[in-house]
Amino acid sequence: MAATKGTGILKASARNRDTAFTCEERRAQGLEGLLPAAVETLEQQEARALAQLRAKPDDYEKYFFLAGLQRRNDTLFYRLLMGHTDEIMPLVYTPTVGKVCQLWSRSWRGPNGLYILPRHRGRIREVLDNWPEKDVRVIVLTDGERILGLGDQGANGMGIPVGKLSLYVACAGIDPRWTLPVTLDVGTENLEYREDPFYIGLRQPRLRGQEYDDFVEEFMRAASEKWPGVLIQFEDFANQNAFRLLEKFRHDSLCFNDDIQGTGSVALSGFLSALRVTGKPLKEQRILFLGAGEAATGIGAMLAAGMKDLGYDEATARSLCWFFDSKGLVVESRTDLNAHKTAWAQKGEFITSFEEVIRQLKPTAIIGASGQGGAFTPAVLAAMAEINERPIVFALSNPTSKAECSAEAAYEHTQGRVIFASGSPFPPVEWNGRMYVPGQGNNAYIFPGIGLGLLAAKAREVTDEMFFAAAKRLAELVEPSDLEIGRVYPPLSRIREVSLEIAIAVAEQTWKQGLADAERPADVRALIRALVWEPEYLNANP
């Protein structure tokens, strides 16, 4: 959005340079007197901002320092995030964003996305017109009902789209002006929030049924009409809506569900890396999931896709994946299963003890996507170590408090033999004189590169095959030196390189499936690089 002069420029985050404006620019743009004498480089500003960030007393204060910086100066914010990804990504997203969402209303400091309300029905397109940027290409959309492992956060869930989009920019170089966070505020079942005098959302039970479906459909139609080809990422919808909405819109809109497909892709990639350590092929695995919701079944679908890619039929592929939900093992004899669980029900005895399932089923891997902190108990971990020389344990629930086990517990109770990954970051673990660096199965490895590749190819549809291609490419980027220290993903310091490679793989898959509107160029890498935004100051002139 074009700025005018003086304070108008300083309030435009895409144009503001703060103390980097030259003396000539200050005079020409009416900035004299509004800035101190120093004329600084972006590098000097970055050093100061980093020192200010590190001086904050806790991660929550660090988050809001960064949020304020982003609101004031996009370029400096992303320069800081891209230059110190390992340190800052956990602050702008998991695990810190969980607490931020819980306190979102009490810390609210101004608009940072669009809140679409039921009273906007019939004129959602008109509301979208209020967004100042005219070239939106990526939307992250939530209704706040299942935020991380924290449950219904209502309008407070806006922290998730804001955080995810900052990773699109930092990891894949999506231009921040192309991004739009959206919360469909349809109410909340969280009585604590509805009774909180500071809650900023609708104080009513959630919209349900046909009214809800019509509301979402109007938004999807309005967004695609206003911004043709826009990519819409569903984020943190509850199970009863997530699967249904994905199936309803995936063939008509450019959309995907990160909790289902993104989580599945990043977990599959980590699993493929783990198999390089065990030396056993995918077809010899038996995977037991704790949880049977979006994330768990999404991972199962990706693992099954991997088996099919190797030439196995659907039934054989699915037979490797077993699920354990809040009531017990998901088996065919149960009559309480909904559709997305029924598809994964196995023949077998109904068992209500997770440890007992491990001892009877003898899985090679357990994958946690349950939101049940500490569910991988010492006994569970010890049982996995008894059965497997190198047990695979992925504790993927977020935030950290919801992780099924810590990295330290995983190494301790398997005598250091575990191949471990987690959803939230854990510090290095020393075991028996050896240092291990736990791998973080962060969806940021996948979705930014997916988005960049889809935009480059001008994709018409997002397919599971594209996520499978992304998973394979990510696994290929894990170096032997990473595996040696226990890491099944590349270090976050390489995330920009990783995202570029994934974007290329996804774009190629889009052309392969005949779903691209862009003509394939001779140099795909050059095409994608040309789209990448870098944190450099724009000309100060409006």
Cα–Cα distance for residue pair 167/233, rounded to 1 Å: 13
Longest C-alpha distance within the chain, in Å?
Answer: 79
What average pLDDT does this structure show over 87-104? 93
DSSP annotation of 178 reads G
What average pLDDT does this structure show over 173-184? 97
CB of 407 within 8 A of CB of 420?
A: yes
Name residue, tokens 């309005």: 222
Cα–Cα distance for residue pair 371/149, rounded to 1 Å: 5
Cα–Cα distance for residue pair 337/325, rounded to 1 Å: 10
- Residue boundaries of the structural domains of the chain: 7-84, 91-253, 261-542
365-414 pLDDT, tens per residue? 999 999 999 999 999 999 999 999 999 999 999 888 899 999 999 999 99
Q: Is the pLDDT assigned to residue 3 strictly greater than 60?
A: no
Strand order across the 321-324 sheet: 321-324, 287-290, 365-368, 392-395, 419-422, 439-440
Q: Could you give the angle at the alpha carbon of 480 between the alpha carbons of 475 and 485, nearest 5°?
A: 100
CB of 140 within 8 A of CB of 235?
A: yes
For 7-84, CATH number out of 3.40.140.10, 3.90.1150.10, 1.20.1370.30, 3.40.50.2300 equals 1.20.1370.30
497-525 pLDDT, tens per residue? 999 999 999 999 999 999 999 999 999 99
What is the reported pLDDT for 148?
A: 87
Q: Which amino acid makes up residue 88?
A: I
Q: What is the number of alpha carbons within 13 Å of residue 292 lying toward its C-beta?
A: 22
255-264 pLDDT, tens per residue? 999 999 999 9
What is the reported pLDDT for 488?
A: 97
Q: Which amino acid makes up residue 241?
A: N
Cα–Cα distance for residue pair 447/265, rounded to 1 Å: 9
CB atoms inside a 10 Å sphere around CB 520: 13
Residues in the chain, total: 542
What is the reported pLDDT for 540?
A: 47
Residues 360, 316, 305, 385, Cα dihedral to 10°? 20
- Look over the chain and give the mean of its residue pLDDT values, rounded to a whole number: 94
What is the reported pLDDT for 539?
A: 61
Q: Which residues, including other chains, have CB under 8 Å from residue 291's CB and lie 6 or more apart?
A: 323, 324, 325, 368, 369, 370, 371, 372, 397
Cα 252–chain centre separation: 23
Catalytic residues: 93, 164
Instruction: Please tell me the pTM assigned to this model.
Output: 0.93
SS3 434: strand
- 91-253 topology per CATH: Rossmann fold (3.40.50)
Say yes or no: do domains 91-253 and 261-542 share a fold.
yes
Phi-psi region of 348 (alpha: psi -120 to 50; beta: other; left: phi over 0): left
**For residue 314, what pLDDT band results from cuts at 50, 70 and 90?**
confident
Phi-psi region of 500 (alpha: psi -120 to 50; beta: other; left: phi over 0): alpha
Phi and psi for 194 in degrees, rounded to 5?
-65, -25
CATH 1.10.3720.10 for the 261-542 domain, yes or no? no
